[in-house]
Amino acid sequence: MKLLEERIRAEGRILSDKVLKVDAFLNHQVDTMLAVEIGREFARLFAHEHITKVLTIEASGIQFAMATGIALNVPFVYAKKKKAVTQGDQVYAASVHSFTRGETYQVSIVKDYLNPEDRVLIVDDFLATGAALVGLADIVAESGATLVGMGCVIEKTFQEGRGLIEERGIPVQSLARIVSMSPGQVEFTAEKPLQPVMAVGESADADHQADQAKETIQSSSTTADLNRIGAGIGC
């Protein structure tokens, strides 16, 4: 995704050969229109997968999961890092190690919000070690739902995350894939434009759903444009 790569080059802060800060536009202060475009791109890439729910982990994946859910016209759910009193005991849980924070914590989702009938797309901001995504995959497996794929905004290809996920046979789509980075410089993979994930045994019905997803994406774009126009006129 060229727009995303350009923003990383312009506004990303490289703290070391493994640590990239994008808090100016992605995961602290958020460029909302960029988040919307990211959601539309994930919706395009997984349009044939009959997705019923988008799943992420708090907090930095929430904006992208929500944008993807809107584009697909499905709910999104986020795993909580701290169990709330209101959650009760009926939860799916997994342990996750954070690379950036250097700590392990438990994430959980109320069982009512993931069902065996669901077809789930996991969305997150970074793919590095893959620990958070593997934890979410374990939760989906425990629920009996079908995990159709994972969408990552930024991938550090020099870390082991993709390998861990692909070992499980899970399709992964990353919008910006970093090969290497050092202070003042970041190198992305030179790849062809991303192509949609095609489910096994594609049918006319799947093509119809993809067309519906495209219409939803276009509709959300029109609505956003109208809202911006209205805000400029009325207030």
**18 is annotated as contributing to ligand binding:** no
**190 is annotated as contributing to ligand binding:** no
| Residue 184 Rama label (left phi>0; alpha psi -120 to 50; beta) | left
Extract the tokens encoding 168: 């499980």
Supply angle C-alpha 105, 106, 111, rounded to 5: 165
**132 is annotated as contributing to ligand binding:** yes
**53 is annotated as contributing to ligand binding:** no
**27 is annotated as contributing to ligand binding:** yes
**20 is annotated as contributing to ligand binding:** yes
Q: If we measure between CA atoms, which residue out of 147, 152, 126, 151 comes closest to residue 137? A: 147
Extract the tokens encoding 215: 């219409």
**94 is annotated as contributing to ligand binding:** no
Residues comprising the binding site for 5-phospho-alpha-D-ribose 1-diphosphate? Answer: 128-132
Residues comprising the binding site? Answer: 20, 27, 128-132, 156
Residues comprising the binding site for xanthine? Answer: 20, 27, 156
